[in-house]
Amino acid sequence: MSFAEVLEELPVLTVQQRQVVIRRALELEEPPLSDAEEALVETRLAGHHQNPASSVPLDEMKRRLRSRS
């Protein structure tokens, strides 16, 4: 399948299928997490589950970052 054919097929995919394509493409570009990085992610995720109010929604974080410019 050519690149042009792949691009033509993207609009036909469901949102979930496109998300899988995006995740897979990113995995090809970035090295896997080290054991230490994986542990850090798990620790932070556990902390979030224990105290969800400690996190900031993505839209709020984007707004805060844009206001710094």
pLDDT range class, residue 26, cuts 50, 70, 90: confident
By percentage, how much of the chain surpasses pLDDT 70? Answer: 100
pLDDT at 69 over 80: no
pLDDT range class, residue 28, cuts 50, 70, 90: confident
Report the chain's mean pLDDT, rounded to a whole number: 91
Q: What is the mean pLDDT of residues 30-55?
A: 92
**What is the total residue count of the chain?**
69
Cα(29)–Cα(36) distance, integer angstroms: 20
In this structure, are residues 36 and 44 in contact, taking their beta carbons and an 8 Å threshold? no
pLDDT at 27: 83
